[in-house]
Amino acid sequence: MTELIGYLVTGLGIGAGFALVGSGLVVTYRVTRVVDFAQGGFAVLAAMLTASLLSAGLPHGAAETLGVVAGAGAGLLVGVAAIGRPGTAPGASLIVTLGLGLLAYAVEILIWGDQPRSFPGLGGAVEIAGARVPTHYLLIVAVTGPVFAALAVFFARTDLGKALSACASNPYAARVVGIDVRRMGLLSFALGGALGGLAGVLTTPVQQVTFDSDVALIVNGFAAAVLGGLTRPGAALAGGLLLGVAQTVVAGYGGGAYRLEVALVVLLTVMIAQGVRTPPAQEATA
Amino acid sequence: MRTIWIAAGLLALAAPLLLPERHLAVYVLLALTAAVAVGVSMLMGYAGQVSLGQASFYAIGAYAAGLLAVHGLPPLVGLLAAPLVAAAAALLVGAPLLRLRGHHLAFATLAMQLILLGLLSRGEWAGGAIGLQGIPRFSAGGAELRDDRGYAYLALAVLASVVLIYRNVVVSRVGRAMRAAATGEAAAAACGVPVGRYRLAVFALSAAFAGLAGGVYAFYLGYLSPGSFPVLLSIEYVVMAAVGGLGTIAGPLVGATVITLLVQALTALGTQPGMPGYAPAVLSYAVYGLVLVVAVLYLPRGIVPSIHSVLGRGKR
C-alpha cells in the first residue's frame, strides 16, 4: 500500500511533465492547426541551458526562468519558420517542425555534447502515508497546478486568450474582426515553447535529459494531449497525469522496461477509438 | 526522358565495376535506401499519408530474413519471405491505423516503430539489444554472394524490381484511382473508389518494398541490431521522398541519391583527423533538418517535378 502511494505521487510528478509538453502541443494546435513536432525539443533545450547556467554559478530560479524563456524564444523561431510564410499548409508546417527538431539535435550536440545531463532540484524527501517521496516531485505538481489554472483563465477570460481561440475555430472571421491571425499563431508557438521549456526544467532533476529525449517527451505529450482531441489543455492535464501514474505503477510492479510502451499503447488505443468515432468529413474545410 | 532513364540505368549497372571496393558499401546502402524511399514516395504521393515508421518494415524484413537464415533455411527463402512478412505486418497494423489521418497517423506510425524497437531490443528470440548474429551470406543455387560487388548487383536488382512494380501500379487503374483519392477523398469515394482498401494495399506494398530491401541488408551485413533502425531512419526516408518529389518515379531515386551522397560527403569531412567525435552526427542531423525545412518551404513539390516545370514539360 505504501509502495502504491509512492508510485502515485511520483507518477503525478512525471505525468505533470507530460501534461506540460502536451498542453504546449494543444496551445499551438488550437490556434494554428499545426502539431509542433519540435515541442519535445524545447524541453531538452531549456533543461540543457539551465544545467549550464547553474554550473556557471547562476542561482536556482534565475537559471530555470532563463531556461523557460529560451524555450519560448525557440518556440517563436520554430513558429516563424513553420507558419511565417503565407499559405503554408498545416501538413507542410508539421514537416517543417520535424526538420527543425532534427536541426536542434545538431545544435544541442554541438553546444552540450551527446552525454546525458541533469542538475539538482529540490533536495530531500518527505513521508506521505508511510511512503518516502523525493520532495522535487511535489514541487513539479505544485508548479504545474497553478500553470494549468492560469492557462484555463487565460483562454476563457482574457481578450487575448479568446482571440487566440478564435483564430483556430474560424480564421476568416477572426481576421474580419481585426485579429492578426499570424501574430496569434506565433504567440501560440512561443507559449507552447515556454510550456515545453517548463516541462524540461521541472523534470530534469528527476530524469536526465539527452539531446534525443525529445522523442519520448513528444510521444508522451502527444498521448496526453490527444485525449482531449488536441484542443483542451485541461484534458491534456488529465491525460498526462493518468499516463504518468500508469507508467510509474507499471514500472514499479516489475515492468520497468516497458514504460514508453505503456504510453504508446494508450496513445494508439485512444487515437484509433477517436478515429472510428469521427469520420474524416472535414477535409474540405481545411 | 527515356534517354535519361537509360543513361541512369547504364550508369547504375556500370558503377559497381568502376567504383573502388571501399566505396561499394555506399552503393549497396544507396540502392536499398532508394528502394525504401520509392515505397514512401508512393505512400505519401498516392495514399496522401505520412508514415514516420517506414524503417519498421525495413527492420521486419531484415529480421525475418535473418531469423529464417539463422535457423537453417536457405537464404533465398529468407529473402523471398522478407517482403511477404513485412506486407503481412503492414496489413495487420494498417487495418486499424489507417483510419487515422495526417498528424495522427504520423504519430501512430512513430509509436508503432518505437514499440517494435522495444520488442526487438528485449526479445531473446531476436538477440535482444546485442542483436542477431551469425546471419549467413546470401546464396542461391549453390552460388554464394561473398564480395560487395555481388551485393551491389543484388541491391540494384531489388531497386529495379521495386521501380518496375511501382511504375506498373501507377499507370494501372488502381494507380489512377489512388491519385484521385489522394487529391479528393470524398469525391473519389463517391465515384466508387474503395479508398480504404486501396490505401491499405498501398501501405502493404510500400512495406513490402521496405521489407525486401531489409532482407538484402540482413545478408549484406550478416548482423542486425535494433539500433540499426532508429526513428531517424524513418524520417530520412520521408526527407528523401519529399525532397525528390512525391508520387513521381524518379523523385525518390533522385532524393535518395542526392541526400545519401551529401551525407556521405559530410561524414567523410566529419571523420577527418582533427574533427571532434560528434562531428558526423552533428553534420548529418543538420543536413536532414535543413534539407527538410528548405525543401518543404521553397520546393514544395520536390526536385523532380520542379525540374520538369522548369524544362517546360508541365506533365507531372
Q: Which residues of B touch A113 (CB under 8 A)?
A: 278
CB contact under 8 A, B278 and A113: yes
According to the model, what pLDDT value does residue B314 have?
A: 47
Q: Give, as one character, the DSSP assignment of residue B138.
A: P
Interface probe, candidates B40, B104, B234, chain A, greatest A C-beta count within 10 A? B104
Helix (H) or strand (E) holding B140: strand B139-140
Q: Which residues of A touch B111 (CB under 8 A)?
A: 219, 264, 267-268
Helix (H/G/I), strand (E/B), else coil: B228? helix
Inter-residue long-range contacts of B164-171, CB under 8 Å, 24+ positions, other chains counted: B165/B205, B165/B209, B166/B38, B166/B39, B166/B42, B166/B209, B166/B249, B167/B249, B169/B42, B169/B205, B170/B42, B170/B46, B170/B249
Q: Which residues of A touch B236 (CB under 8 A)?
A: none
Q: Is the pLDDT of residue A131 over 80?
A: no
**Grid cell 528527476 in the structure block, residue:** A206
Model confidence at A32, pLDDT cuts 50, 70, 90, reads confident
Q: Is A57 exposed, middle or buried (0-12, 13-18, 19+ CB in 10 A)?
A: exposed
Q: Give, as one character, the DSSP assignment of residue B281.
A: H
Q: Is the pLDDT of residue B174 over 50?
A: yes
- CA distances in angstroms from A108 to B59, B61, B272, listed in the order given: 28, 33, 21
CB contact under 8 A, A264 and B96: no
Model confidence at A263, pLDDT cuts 50, 70, 90, reads confident
Q: Identify which of B101, B103, B278 has the shortest CB distance to residue A114.
A: B278
Of B99, B297, B10, residue with least CA distance to A80: B297
CB atoms under 10 Å from CB of B268, counted, come to 11
Helix (H) or strand (E) holding B143: strand B143-144
Q: What is the mean pLDDT of residues A263-282?
A: 71
Amino acid at position B166, single letter: Y
Can you give chain A as a three-state secondary structure string? CHHHHHHHHHHHHHHHHHHHHHHHHHHHHHHHCCCCCCHHHHHHHHHHHHHHHHHCCCCCCHHHHHHHHHHHHHHHHHHHHHHCCCCCCHHHHHHHHHHHHHHHHHHHHHHHCCCCECCCCCCCEEEECCEEEEHHHHHHHHHHHHHHHHHHHHHHHCHHHHHHHHHHHCHHHHHHCCCCHHHHHHHHHHHHHHHHHHHHHHHCCCCCECCCCHHHHHHHHHHHHHCCCCCCHHHHHHHHHHHHHHHHHHHHHHHHHHHHHHHHHHHHHHHHHHHHHCCCCCHHHC
CB contact under 8 A, B278 and A261: no
Q: Which residues of A touch B110 (CB under 8 A)?
A: 219
pLDDT tens across B276-308, in order? 777 888 888 888 888 888 888 887 777 887 777
Pairwise CA distance, residues B89 & B69, whole Å:
19
Q: Which residues of A touch B238 (CB under 8 A)?
A: 95, 98
The percentage of residues in chain A with a pLDDT greater than 90, rounded to a whole number, is 19
Q: Is the pLDDT of residue A209 over 50?
A: yes
Q: Is the pLDDT of residue A137 over 60?
A: yes
Q: Give the least confident one: A149-158, B149-158, B240-249.
A: B240-249
Of B236, B286, B262, residue with least CA distance to A110: B286
pLDDT tens across B198-208, in order? 888 889 999 99
Closest-CA residue of chain A to B114:
A261
Which has more pLDDT, B199 or B160? Answer: B160
CA B232 to chain centre: 13
Q: Is the pLDDT of residue A285 over 50?
A: no
CB contact under 8 A, A272 and B50: no
Q: Give, as one character, the DSSP assignment of residue B222.
A: S
**Grid cell 498521448 in the structure block, residue:** A223
pLDDT tens across A169-201, in order? 777 788 888 888 888 889 999 999 999 999 999
Q: What is the mean pLDDT of residues A261-274?
A: 82
Q: Is the pLDDT of residue A283 over 70?
A: no
Query: What value does the mean pLDDT of chain A take?
Result: 84
Q: Which residues of B touch A40 (CB under 8 A)?
A: none
Q: What are the cell numbers at A282?
A: 472535414
Q: Is B191 exposed, middle or buried (0-12, 13-18, 19+ CB in 10 A)?
A: exposed
Q: What is the mean pLDDT of residues B40-60?
A: 86
CA–CA min distance B293, chain A (Å): 5
pLDDT tens across B84-130, in order? 999 999 999 988 888 887 778 888 898 899 889 888 888 777 777 78
CA–CA min distance B105, chain A (Å): 9
Model confidence at A277, pLDDT cuts 50, 70, 90, reads low
- Could you please state the CATH topology (level 3) that the domain comprising A2-122+132-285 is classified under: ABC transporter involved in vitamin B12 uptake, BtuC (1.10.3470)
Pairwise CA distance, residues B209 & B214, whole Å:
9
Which has more pLDDT, A22 or B315? Answer: A22
Interface probe, candidates B56, B232, B283, B297, chain A, greatest A C-beta count within 10 A? B297
Pairwise CA distance, residues A215 & B165, whole Å:
34
Contact A262, A246 (CB under 8 A): yes
Q: Is the pLDDT of residue B147 over 90?
A: no
Q: Give, as one character, the DSSP assignment of residue B23.
A: G
CB contact under 8 A, B106 and A94: yes
CB contact under 8 A, B288 and A102: yes
Q: What is the mean pLDDT of residues A90-111?
A: 86
Q: What is the mean pLDDT of residues B261-268?
A: 85
Q: Is the pLDDT of residue B316 over 50?
A: no
The ipTM estimated for the assembled molecules is 0.80
According to the model, what pLDDT value does residue A75 have?
A: 93
DSSP structure string for B170-190: HHSHHHHHHHHHHH-HHHHHH
CB contact under 8 A, A114 and B291: no
Q: Is the pLDDT of residue A280 over 60?
A: no
Q: Is the pLDDT of residue A284 over 70?
A: no
CB contact under 8 A, A95 and B242: yes
| B139 beta partners | B144
Q: What are the cell numbers at A67?
A: 531556461
According to the model, what pLDDT value does residue A255 have?
A: 66
According to the model, what pLDDT value does residue A256 have?
A: 66
Q: Give the least confident one: A266-280, B112-126, B242-256.
A: A266-280
CB contact under 8 A, B106 and A276: no
Q: Identify which of B111, B239, B242 has the shortest CB distance to residue A264.
A: B111
Query: What value does the mean pLDDT of chain B take?
Result: 85
Q: What is the mean pLDDT of residues A273-278?
A: 68
Pairwise CA distance, residues B309 & B294, whole Å:
19
Amino acid at position B5, single letter: W
Contact B40, B55 (CB under 8 A): no
Q: What is the mean pLDDT of residues A80-102?
A: 83
Interface residue ranges in chain A relative to chain B, Cβ cutoff 8 Å? 35, 81, 85, 88, 90-92, 94-96, 98-106, 109-110, 113-114, 215, 219, 222, 226, 257-258, 260-261, 264-265, 267-268, 271-272, 275-276, 280-281, 283-284
According to the model, what pLDDT value does residue A282 have?
A: 43
CA–CA min distance A124, chain B (Å): 34
Q: Identify which of A90, A109, A265 has the shortest CB distance to residue B281.
A: A109
Contacting residues for B315 by C-beta, under 8 A, at least 6 apart: B308
Closest-CA residue of chain A to B283:
A106
Helix A2-32 to helix A159-169 angle (10° resolution) is 70
